[in-house]
Amino acid sequence: QVQLVESGGGLVQAGGSLRLSCAASGRTFSRYAVGWFRQAPGEEREFVASISGNGASTYYADSVKGRFTISRDNAKNTVFLLMNRLKPEDTAVYYCASGWDPTGGRAYYTEISYNYWGQGTQVTVSS
């Protein structure tokens, strides 16, 4: 069982930055790919970014490529999402999720690949 807790959300002006954190429980964190997803009001949840267990592979949605950076610190069981040049359309609840990958080298981008989810953190970007 893996528990995930997101933090770092808040209110920011357009063009600003935020860094989200996803803290995970468990002793085999490096065997889990981690992804960030978001859900805006009235919208379907969508993929944002993901990172492999060993941190070598990353994957981004086109809408955030070049603005967001995902990284991880396996020693601290934490994954980060640095969000720069934020836009009002980035407003959403952001969720992190983890999916088992014994190879440690895969970054998943589909929800079905993830087994555990956090409770979410709100990000609001004002114009």
Q: Residue 27 pLDDT more than 90?
A: no
- Rg (C-alpha) for the chain, rounded Å, is 13
Q: Please write the tens of the pLDDT for every residue from 91-125.
A: 999 999 999 998 989 999 899 999 999 999 999 99
Give 27 or 44, the one with higher predicted confidence: 44
pLDDT at residue 104, as a whole number:
87
- The one-character DSSP state at 74 is G
Q: Please write the tens of the pLDDT for every residue from 38-47.
A: 999 999 999 9
Give the C-alpha separation, 40 to 53, whole Å: 27
- Give the mean model confidence (pLDDT) for residues 34-39: 98
Confidence of residue 1 (pLDDT cuts 50, 70, 90): confident
